[in-house]
Structure 1
Amino acid sequence: MTSSSNKISRYDRMELNKPIDLTYFNEQPISSGQFHSHPFYEIFYFHEGRCTYLIGDSIFALKPGDLLLMNGLVLHCPNVEPGSRYVRSILHFDPAWICKGLSDTAKSIVLDPFETLQNHRINLIGADRDEFEGILADMNRLSTSNAGFSQERMTLRIQEMLYMIADWCQAAVQDQDSISEKERHVQHVVSFIEGNYMNDLTLERIARDMHITKHYLSTLFKEVTGTTVFTYLYHRRINQAKIMLRLNPQLSITDISQAAGFKHLAHFSRLFKATVGMTPEYYRKSGGELPLT
């Protein structure tokens, strides 16, 4: 599971300039190893292809029909098999907007899968898959409609989708049976980093704790995730800093850089700007507003 510092506890702490953002049946290729995070919830649906998805300290070998529920603040990254298609639909939404008009009980029901399960995979088959894909297609049609109440109807469709997901999650158990031994090793590495990113980590220490050689560790991690161990580690630290900049305004930039695992403030500031596209100070002032990834 992810650390508690990654959690965003309630729907009213997130705001989007655009409360609903749907990318439907996207076939555009991507570069593997692109880590990202965002301060809103995400529903990811996998239509077709071959892809391993890293979310927090969990690795999923995706299959068509896989539905991923993401608490967006957790670092996540797809690794698409070379030469394979990567067809997905992605819905980002501001839960404060989606839950307008719902009772507290209803809000708890529809948001609980994102807040309790955190990052969860459900494989849809049969009638469930057909119904979900039908709602996705309908939402895509509404998203391009000029009708007067298309936004309101879109919101109702998302609420319906969230109720469906809540129903599935009551009985769903995350399936790790299909994960390979290599993926299991890498998941252990990621879990180790998750619990130690704030400490001074070396490849030697990670390999020793995993009881594997440095060379095997490097090769294995690159094969499964599409990136290197230290690229992941630095992204994890930067992501922790982004979370703290948003949620802990009382802390100084120096305190945040140290808590995220950086020894030197100058190194942290350079890496943050190179990764995020702005300085830590500007990120804090802007409220963490960034384009959707």
Structure 2
Amino acid sequence: MNVLLVDDEPLELEQMEYMIQSIYPFWKFHKAADACQALTINQNFKINLAFLDINLPGRSGLEFGEDLRAVNKEVEIIMVTAHQSFDYAQQSIRIGVVDYLTKPVIESDLHKVLSKYKKQDSSHDYSSLIHHSLSFIHDNFAEKISLSDIAREVHTNPTYLSRKFHEEVGASFTEYLIHYRIQAAKRFLTNNTSWNISDVAENSGFNSQHYFSTIFRKTEGITPKEFREKGK
């Protein structure tokens, strides 16, 4: 699933991505600050779902949504707005908007909007074993945890858990844990500006700043410092 997030506030983009990834950790996110950037992204990727802020610089989110639907008939659009109005509602109906979210976006409201996609995607109907395992990771990612630790928590053996984890999640335990830690680090880099890179690494569960920076650059294409500067 390719998801487009369009908002001129970098913090809003990071928070939205983080909240959605707590449900769908392997969706691909593409972020833009305005309609021009977003159209370029749509030319390079098949966008399935778009979250559009109404108040964008230049062309509004509604105007861009109309452009997007003209070239991508299958995309589903969710508008994000700080203001509800009858005019917005009329335009939204015309371009086929499927839902609204009001700023500041509340996580429970976002989960309700995304529930339809959870039902459509059978790969996320996790067994109780894997659901419990994922919850343990989400609660303890900042600590030193291993597959054996989780196996003890869910009362099974590591070999069986490893196989079931890969079958249901589509990634190994190690791949998932690193991915989740990197997403947490991105949020910390954006939200906790008083933390240095070592603080971010430690609070994200990485045992050294060097290892964290190496993994971050490998997955994100830029260093943690560059990511923080980009978000300012």
Please tell me the TM-score bracket, short chain as reference: 0.5 to 0.7
How far is 1:97 from its partner?
A: 2.9
Partner of 2:79: none
* Aligned counterparts of 1:218 and 1:72: Cα–Cα separation in 2: 25
Task: Among all aligned residue pairs of Structure 1 and Structure 2, give the percentage whose two residues are the same amino acid.
Answer: 27
Note if 1:192 corresponds to 2:136. yes
* Aligned counterparts of 1:89 and 1:219: Cα–Cα separation in 2: 32
* Aligned counterparts of 2:145 and 2:8: Cα–Cα separation in 1: 36
Q: Deviations along 1:91-141, whole A, 9 cap, x unmatched?
A: 22343537xxxxxxxxxxxxxxxxxxxxxxxxxxxxxxxxxxxxxxx8754
> Do the aligned residues in 1 keep the contact of 2:25 with 2:180 (CA within 8 Å)?
no
TM-score by length of 2: 0.59
Name the CA shift for 1:40/1:202 in 2 (closer, same or farther; >3 Å): closer
Partner of 2:41: none
Corresponding residue SS for 2:135: helix
Q: Give every structure 1 segment of 4 or more consecutive aligned residues whose post-TM-superposition deviation is greater than 4 Å.
A: 11-16, 138-141, 152-155, 157-160, 172-175, 178-182
How far is 1:72 from its partner?
A: 3.8
* Aligned counterparts of 1:154 and 1:140: Cα–Cα separation in 2: 17
Correspondence for 2:53 among 95, 112, 134: 95
Partner of 2:14: 39
* Aligned counterparts of 1:205 and 1:187: Cα–Cα separation in 2: 15
Gaps spanning 5+ residues in structure 1: where?
A: 1-10, 17-37, 43-55, 57-70, 79-87, 99-137, 146-151, 289-293
Partner of 1:25: none
Gaps spanning 5+ residues in structure 2: where?
A: 1-6, 28-45, 57-65, 74-87, 102-108
Partner of 2:193: 249
Partner of 1:231: 175
> Do the aligned residues in 2 keep the contact of 1:244 with 1:256 (CA within 8 Å)?
yes
Note if 1:162 corresponds to 2:99. yes
Letter in 2 for 1:230: T
* Aligned counterparts of 2:127 and 2:174: Cα–Cα separation in 1: 18
Select the structure that is richer in strand: 1
Partner of 1:77: 26
* Aligned counterparts of 2:72 and 2:123: Cα–Cα separation in 1: 38
Corresponding residue SS for 2:177: helix
> Do the aligned residues in 2 keep the contact of 1:41 with 1:93 (CA within 8 Å)?
no
Q: Deviations along 1:157-181, whole A, 9 cap, x unmatched?
A: 56853259x8xx59x8987xx8999
How far is 1:12 from its partner?
A: 7.9
Partner of 1:142: 70
Select the structure that is richer in helix: 2
* Aligned counterparts of 2:195 and 2:72: Cα–Cα separation in 1: 43
Name the CA shift for 1:216/1:73 in 2 (closer, same or farther; >3 Å): closer
Name the CA shift for 1:162/1:192 in 2 (closer, same or farther; >3 Å): same
* Aligned counterparts of 2:190 and 2:124: Cα–Cα separation in 1: 36
> How many residues were matched structurally?
172
Name the CA shift for 1:253/1:153 in 2 (closer, same or farther; >3 Å): same
Note if 1:259 corresponds to 2:208. no
* Aligned counterparts of 1:207 and 1:198: Cα–Cα separation in 2: 18
TM-score by length of 1: 0.48
* Aligned counterparts of 1:212 and 1:269: Cα–Cα separation in 2: 34
1:1-293 alignment, distance < 5 Å: 13-14=9-10, 39=14, 41=16, 71-72=19-20, 74=22, 76-77=25-26, 90-95=48-53, 97=55, 141-143=69-71, 156-157=92-93, 160-163=97-100, 183-287=127-231
How far is 1:242 from its partner?
A: 0.4
* Aligned counterparts of 1:267 and 1:155: Cα–Cα separation in 2: 49
Indicate the structure whose relative CO is greater, using CA pairs within 8 Å and at least 6 residues apart: 1
